[in-house]
Amino acid sequence: MIPSNENELTHAVLDRLTGASDPRFVQVMSSLIQHLHAFVREVDLTPDEWMKSIQFLTAVGQTCDDKRQEFILLSDTLGVSMMVVMLQQARAAMGGGEQAAATESNELATQATVQGPFYWEGAPEHALGANIAEGVVGEPTYYSGRITNTAGQPLAGALLDIWSGDGDGFYDMQIAGASMAARGRIRTDHEGRYRFWSIRPTFYPVPVDGPVGRMLDGMGRHPNRPGHIHMMVSAARHVPLTTHLFVAGSPYLDSDAVFGVRPSLIVDFQPHPAGSAPDGSTVATPFWSAQYDFVLEPSAA
């Protein structure tokens, strides 16, 4: 079929998928082709704009290296990453929903958010109550809470894989030659309880010296993320959860550059004077405490 106009062109491209063997690939590419064509038609994209788009995408690809992923940053700042996170959790909830109903579920699973570019596999496992940010710049914070499932059952031996930037907004990975800092893995006790010390994270900008920074600039957008600490929470026979806790009162909570904020993840950090801490230790400086209970969805399988 030789297309004679724009609508026929879209059909001609779709028709060219009839030889594909993977039905899911056909489904994804068909939808992509239709939306891509509809976009170009809708805005009546000019050859100059098309060439600028080609150059932009090329620059995004060429900004990527083993430390930086500018296409993930593009996906993050256009809300696509967060969309994938929301869809994934909705699917998991539907899958686990049948089982949850059988166990008289009465709680919703903790909401997920984006993983971001700073996860570093293999953080050290610490004893319950340890300080995972020894020597890191920032105000000491005592984190504690419980991990249960949607049926309210405490999850003993559940794993919290934790990471954050320091009190100035920098991750260890962003500092040349740095080793792991403000990262650690903690397991819950037999009642599903966890506790550890780290610092209180602050807001920071996503990298703006590449093409995505220029895009944000053109959009009139700031590049900042509100203060947050990352957690990957997992337990046997439960859907793993990747999420953050956000610091209540942090700037940019209502305009996170990557759209990761969910109101249910905003935590009040309580200020404390120097002295006795909730775990019985003595702290020489003022410190904070943050309390949060995580809820995991039982897995469908």
Interacting residues with a second copy between 22 and 51 (CB under 8 A) = 22, 25, 27-29, 31-33, 35-47, 49-50
Q: Which is nearer to a second copy, 41 or 237 (CB)?
A: 41
Q: Which is nearer to a second copy, 186 or 241 (CB)?
A: 241
Encoded tokens for 142: 């005592």
Phi/psi at 5 (nearest 5 deg)? -150, 180
In contact, 207 and 68? CB cutoff 8 Å: yes
- 195: Cα separation from own chain's centroid: 22
Residue with token string 């550059």: 257
Residues 130-149 that bind a second copy (CB under 8 A): none
CB atoms under 10 Å from CB of 161, counted, come to 21
The mark string for 57-76 relative to a second copy (x by CB under 8 A, - otherwise) is: xxxxxx-x----x-xx--x-
Strand pairing of 183-187 and 159-163?
antiparallel
Q: Which is nearer to a second copy, 13 or 277 (CB)?
A: 13
Residue 106's SS3 state is: coil
CB of 71 to a second copy, least distance (A): 5
Among 178, 214, 255, 271, binds a second copy (CB under 8 A): 255
CB of 134 to a second copy, least distance (A): 33
Asked if residue 285 binds a second copy (CB under 8 A), the reply is no
111: closest CA among 298, 300, 297, 299? Answer: 297
Encoded tokens for 271: 């200020």
Strand pairing of 193-199 and 183-187?
unpaired
What is the phi-psi region of residue 153: left when phi exceeds 0, alpha when psi lies from -120 to 50, beta otherwise? beta
Give the interface segment with a second copy, choosing from 131-139, 154-162, 231-239, 254-262 (CB under 8 A).
254-262
Residue 295 CB partners (closer than 8 Å, separation 6+): 107, 108, 109, 110, 147, 148, 149, 150
Type of residue numbered 60: V
The mark string for 150-189 relative to a second copy (x by CB under 8 A, - otherwise) is: ----------------------------------------
CB of 7 to a second copy, least distance (A): 10
Identify any residues that bridge with 160 across adjacent strands, giving them in sequence order: 186, 233
Q: Which is nearer to a second copy, 46 or 106 (CB)?
A: 46
Residues 184-223 that bind a second copy (CB under 8 A): 218-221
* Count of chain residues binding a second copy (CB under 8 A): 75
CB of 40 to a second copy, least distance (A): 5
Residues 223-252 that bind a second copy (CB under 8 A): none
